Amino acid sequence: MTGAAHLDPSAASPSSVEAPPVEVSRELQVALRGYLDHLTVERGLARNSLLSYRRDLQRYLEYLAGQGVTEPSRIEPSHVASYLADLRTGNSARMPLAASSAARAVVAARGWHKFLAAEGLVTADPSRDVRPPSPAKRLPKALPLEQITALLDSVTGDEPRNLRDRALLEFLYATGARISEAVGLDVDDVDLVSEPESGLTGVAILRGKGSKERLVPVGSYAAAALSAYQVRGRPTLAAAGRTATRGGAMFLNARGGRLSRQGAWQILNAAAERAHIAEGVSPHTMRHSFATHLLEGGADVRTVQELLGHASVTTTQVYTLVTVDALREVYALSHPRAR
């Protein structure tokens, strides 16, 4: 390709200047440069992403050179498979890579091979049947109910910002909303109703990934907090800006504009500090706690999937691992012949 800004695959970044262990052939370097040009021009990748591809693929080329490979057409499936094994086990010059890092490197190599085959530079893709390693599942972090209660109760007072903060935190825990969904909430997205038996409750429309909408219930605690904020807090905050008190963003900042994600994060951190919660608490912690507590209370996975807005139930099932761990702990403590 012409006119592309080349990222020289042989040029090391200033922070990682190392002499290559073996010399990579010109044929391999040219093939790599063509792929980097493709990523630059056709795919429009950001510079940092391109640098990451370059580093991963340069390491791959050096491995191939060490195996005596000098041309792309000479690369066999066994070379790709042995490269993956080398990444995971390490060698005398390099520590073994974690599954996530090895997977990224293999994905980069597979992309290069797919490009070469599509361009007709090789007759077959030797990486087609080599799968990157699956990273270990990280269990979502959830706070126990007593810590959630302490966090929510740490916000008191009738100042407008205190009313907003309490409403935001109650809403996050009541709905399992992503932080982007919460700060993107408008007044018209929430419908609060007073029922003779259950008191004040409601429903909210959340706009998730891909602009997909879902309807979620709002429990009595969150509904009461939202009502108090809308009546006694939001009008004062709205008066500081151009936002009308009827309609517009639900959660406002001190200047009357829509509360940002960073602002919501600071509200949560301040509440966690007041509640003396030592572990790091993020907006996603509230979402994880919402899902975990629902499952522990007997909700089925499909219902939790709908409430979280997950496209696949597989994503939601990671929360069942948390509840299984809790069941094991109860079993170990309670059963007379558990241990």
| Residue 60 belongs to some domain of the structure | yes
| pLDDT score at 260 | 94
| Residue 149 belongs to some domain of the structure | yes
Report, in this order, helix, strand and coil percent for the chain, each rounded to 5. Answer: 55, 10, 35
| pLDDT score at 281 | 86
* Total domains in the fold of the chain: 2
How far is residue 65's CA from residue 28's CA, in Å, rounded to a whole number?
9
Last residue of a domain, one of 268, 283, 298: 283
| pLDDT score at 92 | 58
Specify whether the CB–CB gap between 143 and 281 falls below 8 A: yes
- Shared domain for 41 and 167, answered yes or no, is no
The pLDDT tens digits along the chain (339 residues) read: 444 445 554 444 333 334 445 789 999 999 999 999 999 888 888 888 889 899 999 999 999 998 999 999 999 999 999 988 888 887 656 677 777 788 888 889 999 999 999 999 999 999 988 887 766 555 557 899 999 999 999 999 999 999 999 999 999 999 989 899 999 999 999 999 887 776 788 899 998 876 788 888 899 999 999 999 999 999 999 998 764 545 699 999 999 999 999 999 999 999 999 999 977 788 888 988 888 888 888 887 788 888 887 766 665 666 665 555 555 555 566 556 655
| pLDDT score at 13 | 38
| pLDDT score at 17 | 36
How far is residue 175's CA from residue 182's CA, in Å, rounded to a whole number?
9
| Residue 295 belongs to some domain of the structure | no
| pLDDT score at 135 | 61
- Shared domain for 106 and 161, answered yes or no, is no
| pLDDT score at 270 | 94
How far is residue 176's CA from residue 187's CA, in Å, rounded to a whole number?
18
H helix or E strand, kind and range, residue 171: helix 160-175
Residues 6+ apart with CB under 8 A from 173: 148, 152, 222, 286, 289, 290
Q: What is the CATH number of the domain that holds 18?
A: 1.10.150
| pLDDT score at 222 | 94
- Shared domain for 29 and 154, answered yes or no, is no
H helix or E strand, kind and range, residue 166: helix 160-175
Annotated active-site positions, please? 178, 209, 284, 287, 310, 319
| pLDDT score at 245 | 47
- Shared domain for 59 and 163, answered yes or no, is no
Tokens read off for 265: 């994060």
Q: What is the arrangement of strands in the sheet containing 190-195, beginning at the earlier edge strand?
A: 190-195, 199-207, 213-218
| Residue 196 belongs to some domain of the structure | yes
| pLDDT score at 7 | 53
User: Structure pTM?
Assistant: 0.56
The range of the structural domain enclosing residue 175 comes to 145-283
